[in-house]
Homo-oligomer: A and B are copies of this chain.
Amino acid sequence: MPAKKTRNAPKPSLRRMPRYLRCLQRMAKERPEWVSCTHIAEQLDLDPTLVRKDLAMTGITGRPKTGYLLAELVEAIEHFVGWDTPEDAFLIGAGNMGAALLGFGGFQRHGLNIVTGFDIDPGKVGTKIHGKEILHIDQFVDMARRMHVEIGIIACGVASAQQVADTMVEGGIRAIWNFAPIKLQIPENVIIEYEDLSATLAVLSRKLASRRQLDAEAPVCGNDL
C-alpha cells in the first residue's frame, strides 16, 4: 500500500469515504474487476471530478479510461481512513444513545469495536447491554491504560461531559467522538469530533419551513384537477 503523505485531507472529502466504500461494496456483488470515477459518481449523484480528487487522496492511481481495480480501491480507502486494522473503543454513558451505539453492529465494518461501556448508575454497572459489559467509570482510567484503548466515545449528558472527557484524557484516550452537544476543553494532542444531531435537524427544519413559505406564496393554479 503506498504511504500517502496527505495529512490534512479536507473534512468533506473524509466524510465521503464511507459512501465510496459502501458503493464499492454494492458494486463488488456484480464482480467487476475495474471501476471508474464516472460510474461511482453516477451511483452517488456526485461530480466525477470531485470523486477523482477524493480518491486520489488515498494515494491510489487510476488508469486512464479504465479506472481502478475495485479490490485495490477498497483497500486504499480503508487504509487511508485507518479502517484496515480494527480498533477498540470505550464508551462512557450507557443511557439511550450509549445503548444504541453499543448495539449498533455497523461500526465493526468501519474498523471500530466498542468493547465496553462505562457508567455511574448502579442499575447499569455490572449488567450487559447488547452483550457488552457495563463497568463503573472509576475503572476507566486503569482499564484504558492497561488495554491501550485510544478511542473514547462520550454518550453521557451535557452536565457530565467535561468531567467524562477529563477522565478519558487521564486514561490516555487520543481520539474522542463526542455525542454530547457541548464544546469540551481538551489538550491539543487529543483529537475530538462532535456528532451533533441537532445540526442535521436544523437543515431539515429550515428546508421544510422554506418549502411551506413558498407553497403559501405560490398562486393556486388548479393543482387539484
Q: Does A66 contact B (CB under 8 A)?
A: no
Identify A201's interface contact among B107, B191, B206, CB under 8 A.
B107
Q: Does A14 contact B (CB under 8 A)?
A: yes
Q: Write the nearest CB–CB distance from A165 to chain B, whole angstroms.
A: 14
Contact with B along A65-86 (1 / 0, CB 8 A): 0000000000000001111000
CA distance A54 to B20 in the complex (A): 31
Chain B residues with CB under 8 Å of A59's CB are none
Contact with B along A7-29 (1 / 0, CB 8 A): 10101001111110010000000
Are B110 and A202 closer than 8 Å at their CB atoms?
yes
Are B130 and A181 closer than 8 Å at their CB atoms?
no
Kindly identify, within residues 88 to 122 of chain A, every residue whose CB is under 8 Å from any CB belonging to chain B. Answer: 95-97, 99-100, 103-104, 106-107, 110-112
Are B181 and A22 closer than 8 Å at their CB atoms?
yes
CA distance A151 to B201 in the complex (A): 11
Q: Write the nearest CB–CB distance from A201 to chain B, whole angstroms.
A: 5
Are A15 and B203 closer than 8 Å at their CB atoms?
yes
Which residues from chain A sit less than 8 Å from chain B, CB to CB? Answer: 3, 7, 9, 11, 14-19, 22, 44-45, 80-83, 87, 95-97, 99-100, 103-104, 106-107, 110-112, 130, 150-151, 174-175, 177, 181-183, 189, 191, 193-211, 213-214
The 3 closest A-B pairs by CB, nearest first: A82-B209, A100-B100, A96-B103
